[in-house]
């Protein structure tokens, strides 16, 4: 049943879009698994009281995060660089302190923490998906394979003492029992300690109509306003916010104990911008739904006519985000010959829901298609830079964010 109350403040929520039945976004399937695929209702609700946008139905975390988790952070070189810089900025603040402790929630394959390990800084990664946690451990990143919550925070505190910094990237928005996580962070942080985390930003989703950010793992779509409400309930406060040009538009938040730090003027400015954008008003999300529906129509039309014209079209990047686009727009193996992806665990499998084959990148290079549907649009800079040959030979990217358009060698 669609949840009627807000996960943050328990007020009544307003549903604004339903995508229908969806499979697990990162649930790539072997031939044997095709028959009993799991589906849930993907719908999104808005809380007019605290402003939090959130899923209306939740998928159990164990169905998404396990020993076959398909998202390996280190597959993107750009993200590797991004997390090196993230780590450097935190390390610079911690350097005068004696023997600081850094804890990362959702540390995946160690993409960020390895930079603390290399410096000899005390660190601990918390990563429930065993396969990626093991990669991190094998790289010398100290990792425990558990779900972070208040109980685990207590255990960490007993074993390692309080933390100078708790970090998280693309994970806080994944956790439905966020009150337990925030209570745990509150408990774990030293008086001068900070929580620094980043997630896709609601303002960008609204501005770019990037509805493919909406899928099972993304329980919350954060704004400064809605997070301020959450942290205030735990005597924590946001002291800084910084836009990040990754994952299609993210926001990094720095959070401290209430009153421990002077908040940057950026926090007030961004909250005011959100009010201007209408992020606290229900009609903004009704508008968003209309734009999403239009985008679906245009993408389907583009793909149907490419198919009618006998073009070879493949998907570029079997991203988690693509699961929403493919299944919501009714894209099938009739439209896409295959989806090219560089992640070994996805190759040779079928995409969730539509069961389009996922093939290694070498297949894309072996015989360029006429068109590539750019599912990994959030990495477009990196991808357009390396696909000069494809475009020079007449290949075109079909992109759907912020609207449906083609990119050829002149525009790249
Ligand atoms: N931080 C990495 C990984 C993001 S994917 C990056 O930005 O690239 C989200 C990760 O969070 C997954 O590896 C998942 O297993 C992990 N995760 C999900 N729920 C969690 C929880 N309750 N505690 C800690 N990690 C969690
Ligand atoms: P993400 O958008 O969730 O980061 O996932 C990116 C996916 O796209 C991941 O499966 C790897 C794949 N990918 C490619 O196949 N080629 C590329 O050049 C890039 C950057 C990503
Ligand atoms: Zn609320």
Candidate of 174, 180, 188, 320 to mutate for ligand 1, largest count of ligand atoms within 8 Å of Cβ: 174
Query: What is the rounded CA–CA span in Å between residue 115 and residue 333?
Result: 41
- Ligand 1 atom nearest residue 181's Cα: 22
- Residue ranges of domains in the chain, CATH in brackets: 73-278 (3.40.50.150), 284-407 (3.40.50.720)
Per-residue confidence at 411, pLDDT binned at 50, 70, 90? confident
What is the average per-residue pLDDT within 302-327? 98
What is the average per-residue pLDDT within 172-191? 98
What is the reported pLDDT for 86? 98
Q: Give the Å distance between the CA of 75 and the centre of ligand 2.
A: 7
169 pocket-lining for ligand 1 (C-beta < 6 Å):
yes
Q: Give the Å distance between the CA of 170 and the centre of ligand 1.
A: 7
What is the reported pLDDT for 409? 84
What is the reported pLDDT for 76? 84
- 216: closest CA among 337, 79, 353? 353
Q: What DSSP element (H or E) covers 41?
A: strand 39-46
71 pocket-lining for ligand 1 (C-beta < 6 Å):
yes
Nearest CA to ligand 1 atom 24: 106
Reply yes or no on whether the pLDDT at 412 is more than 80. Answer: no
Strand order in the sheet with 14-23: 14-23, 39-46, 53-55, 220-221
Task: Return mean pLDDT, the chain.
Answer: 97
Contact of 26 with 320, CB cutoff 8 Å:
yes
- The number of residues making up the chain comes to 412
3-state secondary structure of 253: strand
Query: What is the rounded CA–CA span in Å between residue 212 and residue 119?
Result: 37
69 pocket-lining for ligand 1 (C-beta < 6 Å):
yes
3-state secondary structure of 205: helix
Query: What is the rounded CA–CA span in Å between residue 15 and residue 63?
Result: 24
What is the average per-residue pLDDT within 226-254? 97
What is the reported pLDDT for 244? 98
- 136: closest CA among 92, 178, 106? 106
Task: Output phi, psi for 393, to 5 deg.
Answer: -85, 15
320 pocket-lining for ligand 2 (C-beta < 6 Å):
yes
What is the reported pLDDT for 87? 98
Find the ligand nearest to 9 CA: 3
Percent of the chain with pLDDT strictly greater than 70: 100
What is the average per-residue pLDDT within 311-318? 98
pLDDT digits (tens, 9 = 90+) for 379-401: 998 899 999 999 999 999 999 99
Query: What is the rounded CA–CA span in Å between residue 26 and residue 211?
Result: 16
Q: Give the Å distance between the CA of 289 and the centre of ligand 1.
A: 28
Q: Give the Å distance between the CA of 15 and the centre of ligand 3.
A: 13
DSSP letters of 341-375? ES-GGGTTSB-TTT--BEEEHHHHHHS--SEEEET
Q: Give the Å distance between the CA of 70 and the centre of ligand 1.
A: 12
- 100: closest CA among 125, 124, 136, 84? 124
Per-residue confidence at 11, pLDDT binned at 50, 70, 90? very high
101 pocket-lining for ligand 2 (C-beta < 6 Å):
no
What is the reported pLDDT for 157? 98
Nearest CA to ligand 2 atom 19: 76
Reply yes or no on whether the pLDDT at 145 is more than 90. Answer: yes
Query: What is the rounded CA–CA span in Å between residue 407 and residue 388?
Result: 12
What is the reported pLDDT for 354? 98
Reply yes or no on whether the pLDDT at 362 is more than 90. Answer: yes
Find the ligand nearest to 170 CA: 1
What is the reported pLDDT for 117? 98
Candidate of 213, 322, 324, 342 to mutate for ligand 2, largest count of ligand atoms within 8 Å of Cβ: 342
What is the average per-residue pLDDT within 77-89? 96
What is the reported pLDDT for 392? 96
Residue 332: CB atoms within 10 A of its CB come to 15
**Residues 238, 244, 248, CA angle at the centre, nearest 5°?**
120
Query: What is the rounded CA–CA span in Å between residue 105 and residue 116?
Result: 14
Query: What is the rounded CA–CA span in Å between residue 156 and residue 26?
Result: 29
pLDDT digits (tens, 9 = 90+) for 265-290: 999 999 999 999 999 999 999 999 99
pLDDT digits (tens, 9 = 90+) for 186-238: 999 999 999 999 999 999 999 999 999 999 999 999 999 999 999 999 999 99
Query: What is the rounded CA–CA span in Å between residue 194 and residue 4?
Result: 33
Query: What is the rounded CA–CA span in Å between residue 315 and residue 364?
Result: 9
Nearest CA to ligand 1 atom 25: 106
143 pocket-lining for ligand 2 (C-beta < 6 Å):
no
């Amino acid at each position: 049943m669609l949840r009627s109350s807000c996960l943050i403040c328990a007020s009544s929520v307003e549903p604004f879009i339903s995508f229908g039945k969806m499979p697990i976004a990162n649930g790539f399937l072997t031939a044997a698994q095709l028959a009993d695929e799991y589906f849930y209702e993907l719908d999104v609700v808005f809380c007019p009281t605290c402003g939090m946008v959130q899923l209306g139905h939740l998928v159990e975390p164990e169905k998404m995060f396990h020993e076959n988790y398909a998202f390996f952070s280190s597959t993107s070189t750009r993200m590797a660089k991004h997390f090196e810089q993230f780590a450097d900025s935190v390390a610079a603040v911690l350097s005068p302190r004696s023997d600081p402790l850094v804890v990362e929630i959702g540390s995946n394959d160690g993409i960020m923490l390895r930079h603390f390990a290399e410096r000899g800084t005390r660190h601990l990664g918390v990563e429930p998906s065993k396969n990626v946690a093991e990669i991190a451990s094998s790289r010398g990143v100290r990792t425990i394979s558990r779900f972070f919550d208040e109980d685990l925070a207590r255990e960490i505190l007993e074993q390692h003492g309080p933390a100078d910094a708790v970090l998280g990237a693309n994970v806080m928005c994944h956790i439905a029992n966020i009150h337990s996580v925030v209570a745990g962070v509150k408990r774990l942080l030293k008086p001068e300690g900070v929580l620094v985390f980043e997630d896709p930003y609601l303002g960008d989703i609204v501005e770019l109509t990037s509805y493919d950010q909406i899928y099972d793992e993304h329980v919350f779509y954060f704004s400064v306003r809605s997070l301020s409400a959450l942290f205030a309930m735990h005597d924590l406060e946001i002291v800084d916010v910084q836009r990040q040009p990754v994952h299609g538009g993210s926001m990094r938040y720095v959070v401290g104990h209430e009153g421990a730090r002077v908040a940057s003027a950026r926090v007030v400015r961004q909250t005011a911008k959100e009010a201007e954008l209408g992020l606290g008003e229900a009609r903004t999300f009704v508008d968003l739904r209309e734009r999403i529906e239009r985008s679906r129509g245009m993408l389907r039309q583009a793909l149907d006519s490419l198919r009618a014209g006998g073009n070879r079209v493949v998907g570029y990047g079997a991203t988690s985000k693509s699961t929403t686009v493919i299944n919501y727009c009714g894209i099938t193996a009739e439209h896409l010959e295959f989806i090219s992806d560089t992640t070994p665990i996805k190759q040779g499998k079928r995409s969730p829901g539509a069961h389009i084959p996922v093939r290694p990148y070498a297949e894309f290079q072996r015989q360029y298609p006429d068109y590539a549907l750019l599912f990994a649009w959030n990495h477009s800079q990196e991808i357009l830079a390396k696909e000069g040959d494809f475009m020079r030979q007449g290949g075109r990217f079909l992109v759907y964010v912020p609207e449906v358009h083609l990119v050829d060698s002149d525009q790249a």
